[in-house]
Amino acid sequence: MFQGENISVLPLDDGFVELRFDRRDATINKLDARTIDEFRKATECIATTSEVRGVLVTSAKDVFIVGADITEFSAMFQQSADAIATAVRTNDAHVTTFEDLPVPSVVAINGYALGGGLELALLGAFRVMASNARVGLPEVSLGLIPGLGGTARLSRVAGLAAAIDWVATGQSFDGRLAVAAGVVDEVVAPDELRETALAWLRHAATGEIDWRAAQRRKKVRLPISAREAADVIDRARSRIGALHDRNRPAAAIAAETMERAAVHDLEDALDHEADSFGRVARTQAAASLVQIFLNEQVLKKQVKRSAQAARPVSQAAVIGAGTMGGGIACASALRGIPTRMKDIAQARLDAGMDAARKQLAKHVESGRLGLRQADACYASITPQLGDVGLDDVDFAIEAVVEHPDVKRRVLAELEQLVPADTVLASNTSSLGIDELARSLARPEQLVGMHFFNPVPKMRLVEVVRGSRTSDVAVATAAGYAVALGKTPIIVRDCPGFVVNRVLMPYVNAFLRLLADGADFETVDRAMEGFGWPMGPAYLLDVIGMDVLDRVVDVIGAGYRDRMPPVDGSALGLMIERQRYGQKSGEGFYRYDGARAGRPSKCPSPDAHALVATLQSNGSSAFPDDVIIERMMLPMIVEAAHVLDERIVASAVELDMALVLGLGFPAHAGGALKYADWLGLDRVVAMCDRHAELGAPYVATPNMRAMAAAGAHYYPA
């Protein structure tokens, strides 16, 4: 009847037809421009074929439709909001013809029906779902709202309150919750899905079920007043935090759209949605979050390519226990890799095993592991004071104290104990890999592997290539990181690598602001308002002043022109007064319960008085926009240096390292995506405006050249 690249229409018995999604040369179905056009043509084919009594909609893949083809978004988002809205209306017109067919339709949902997949399913009169399937509208996670009728139809199928919950949270739901919300009509075992959907279709075709009423309900306004719709939205605002996020406005825009559309018919509701989609698609959050999604796909492909050179890891070792070593060993054991954990101190071995035990207990409590599985994982970690079994490991991670002499000695000893082809990884946050490799007979086997704390929560691992590190060592380290559920980013050896190197100018900018009279709580509020998970003062307290001081020294020594010590630094004064932050109970803030392991942040008048002693010209009130400029510009400049020096391969790796390892605000996309959003001409002008602050604010020659050429770090 109809055969396209991604959709076919096939005749069934009794006058029924099957519209089947089966994207050619792919393992999943996605909605791209071609698929939507084929859907229109398939619908026309059905509409013009006589004696069709009903339509069964299916997928030939293991999933129904996972959503839109995100790779098409970048080009669309370069258009104006009006042009985007027009494109949305065109797509609406294409798919709505299916809803208007003069015969019943039943959608059989298997696997995932997400985003546009669920929106297409809502076109059918009825929906039957496999018990192992999930449905949802996750567009807000990309800074967007549904753009194929999702806000309009879901409100009419599930009611306004449930629809707002689904759209604003972006969560996916199982069959039980989908039925309870009225989004699907029945949930069945996967092997019963097709026959059950056909039974619904037969009942609808014979009039036993009123399919016309089901379709008609989606065409009319909701049975509530404008006041009642506003009340529903107000109640949603009290329970859904996303509706208050200024940096990521998609959820709030979706709620406003659904409130306005509630008292209009479907045609007007679709118009409202199209206008709102055009508006939200032009936001910084949408541009950045879509780019992050695309960046993650790039990283996955890179790791897959590099994995071809990787050696398999069946037995690992962690040298140096404690919280970090225990976290790495536990992550390894959770992925089925037996791990030896060695230390010279029993107390640290005990601490490492305790860290692993606590992490496994959390997995059991959350239902991710059964008790027997957790016990098996724990048993696969072997704590030891001696060297037994190290001659049988494929991969060994050194995780001792961050001191070059200690690390060199441990690595040299370890090299003698493991097989010659074992990859050695140093878990260092700032020490040079080439420097550590000086003590080794096989420097090509050494790679840096910077895990971030806390290991169970932080996805990033910086895999550091020294000048003599082999491709096999790099690929094996990256593959091991993936096996642990982490995202590896390969960087060239340099002081601070990427994350800490770009962080240091931010820290120095904060210390300089304080010296110039800024109030640290005001700075924290401004940067948290920008989107950071915590302000710089709080960040320093969490890291620990003593820890940060060592990192500042190591990294600063490598970039004396751009990262010189800040005269009269608040960091030095805090250390002098033994105000180390959370660990000591006092830093920029006071921490009640810090020593009990449950620190609660409180204001500290003493800290304000202490910082005031450094402000020779007294206090100054800095506007938020000035604070943000002074804090963010040095990060952008240093990120530009990192890319110019080819420490990473592209802006993708650099920005993802900052987002995953530093908590760089996702709505801004990373330092270089943020620079693109501002415009490099504007960034350079801001740098020039702050030139008196010195080298950290001096735009690189390449930044100036790109600004003059109207260029971007990412393809426009």
322 Ramachandran zone, left/alpha/beta (phi>0; psi -120 to 50): left
Query: How is residue 25 written in tokens?
Result: 């040369």
CB atoms within 10 A of CB 56: 23
Q: What are phi and psi of 390, to 5 degrees?
A: -70, -15
Please state the φ and ψ torsions of residue 425, each to the nearest 5 degrees. Answer: -125, 135
Q: Which positions ≥6 away from 507 have C-beta within 8 Å?
A: 536, 540, 548, 552, 571
Containing 11, the helix (H) or strand (E) segment is strand 7-11
How far is Cα 246 from Cα 249, in angstroms, rounded to an integer? Answer: 6
Per the CB < 8 A criterion, the answer to whether 478 and 306 are in contact is yes
Residue 404 tokens read as: 């070059």
Q: Which residues pair with 592 in a beta bridge?
A: 600
Q: Take residue 367 and report the two structure tokens written for it.
A: 């239902």
Handedness of CA 166, 169, 174, 176 (dihedral sign): negative
Length of the chain (residues)? 716
For residues 218 and 232, give the distance between their C-alpha atoms in angstroms, rounded to a whole number: 19
CA distance 291 to 282: 13
Q: For the chain, percent helix, then strand, then coil, each to nearest 5?
A: 55, 10, 30
Tokens for 72? 């098409």
Question: Can you name the residues that pair with 450 across neighbouring β-strands?
Answer: 462
Contact predicate 499/663, CB 8 Å: no
- Written as one letter, the residue type at 660 is L
Does the annotation mark 712 as catalytic?
no
Alpha-carbon distance values, 402 to 369, 432, 436, 443, 530 (Å)? 33, 11, 11, 19, 32
| Residue from 244, 403, 450, 608 carrying the catalytic annotation | 450
The verdict on whether omega for the bond into residue 454 sits within 30 degrees of 0, i.e. cis, is yes
252 Cβ contact list (under 8 Å, min separation 6): 242, 243, 244, 245
Contact residues for 273 (Cβ-Cβ < 8 A; gap 6+): 88, 145, 146, 147, 149, 150, 151, 152, 257, 261
Positions marked active-site: 450
